[in-house]
Structure 1
Amino acid sequence: MADVIDFAPGGYRFIKGVSQYSAGVAAQPGFRLERVRFARPVPLAEGFDRIAAIIKAAGRPLTAFAACELRSPAPFTEQGFIDFNAIYITTLKEWGLFRDGLNPIARSNVCPEVFPPAEPSFYAFSFTTAAPDAPPSFVVAGSGEAPEGHATYHDHIVNRGDVSPEGLRGKARFVLAEMERRMAALGFTWADATAAQLYTVHDVHPFLADEIARRGAMRAGLTWHFNRPPVQELEYEMDCRGLAIEHVA
């Protein structure tokens, strides 16, 4: 079973993941998660400044930052992804979020195939606000078709190099199961999700009904972003959330 850790300074709990992100977050009782999507992607440094201003304006500490959705110019090499994460984590440490080698922030980081940003940028983020009677809320981090925690993605990609309908079906099955595993660790199912997001440039229609819709992942519809996952050779990624309040800034 996944390790779920209480992050009291933020008012949420998180699934222990890897150093660059957690596998998902859920608000603790007395708090709710709210999502803010930027009208257009905001470069990383400016984005952190805008996020800090929004969180502070809501009367919350920076440790209320709980999840983010990034957009990058193109898929990284394995080393490039490591280098990027080292830069990203620096601000989390400054904000008191990265502690004892644990990163509580859930994250997706994908690459638009059309109109990509010139540099890594924030697309959206989620944070906790105080709300005594709020219903439960959660954000599950993005996952591609390779298990986390290995030294590389390359050797563990499901159906690596196979983007045939059946190859993609296998990738989708892995990712959907990982979404369900993460939701279950936080106490949720697809019935609790208010949004599911898909990131691929490949045709999913051959298995959309029987693999995605029939297992409940489209109860609230499906938002398909024509994006690639963040590491070269990954082809299919999803994330999901269950939130009552979302904003556009």
Structure 2
Amino acid sequence: MSATAVPRRALVTGGSGELGGAICHALAAGGYHVIVHANQSLPRAEAVVAAIRAAGGNAQATAFDVTDAEVAHAALDGLLSGGPIHAVINNAGIHDDGPMAGMSAEQWHRVIDVSLHGFFNVTQPLLLPMARVRFGRIVSVSSVAAQLGNRGQTNYAAAKAALHGASKSLAREMASRGITVNVVAPGVITGRMIGEDFPPERIREIVPAQRAGTPEEVAALVAFLCSEAAGYINGQVIGVNGGMG
């Protein structure tokens, strides 16, 4: 994009969180106008927008429930009225951990609803508009748990692993339209998500790099995959995990 061109627009679901916020900042630094999504907490999304604008970038905030197809479609219709959305980063996801033997149906469905059904509800309405402009970048944020498994996370691993198959299939469907579809699978990343489950000694034990990654390291890959330079990278699942697998 030239300096005078209208910026391409990117929607980041879960953009108000730690990893989502880092992704929003990286995309804005790469020239995108970033739509920062939150589920309910619009003020958190607006805080990310304010920080991006303070750094000289372009951004706006939105809030809607990705698990509600009708609500998501209405929100996307509103966003599309302002022009095409050229990139979508499916970063929204939740944990509700527990061994499967004691897991409730609600725990199972809630996690899958956000990560997997949210992926469909947000991505599907954007495909034809992307195809019309012959450019699209779809990146879904998965997890090393989807690749290796993790005790207490059958629901989370199932939801994220499903994104791998969906993304590989969608990449084949949309590649001729200039649209790429990839998955980024982070490992142990600093922030609230790792909590007390990963003290430093545990991280040194399970991560060959012997440290946790940072949200910025994941965001850098996402931003690259959304760039012009990444146009021939398609249908891939790329780990950001310090060598875990």
Q: TM-score w.r.t. structure 1 length?
A: 0.34
More relative contact order in 1 or in 2 (CA 8 Å, sep 6+)? Answer: 1
Structure-2-length-normalised TM-score? 0.35
More strand by share: 1
The structure with the largest helix share of the pair is 2
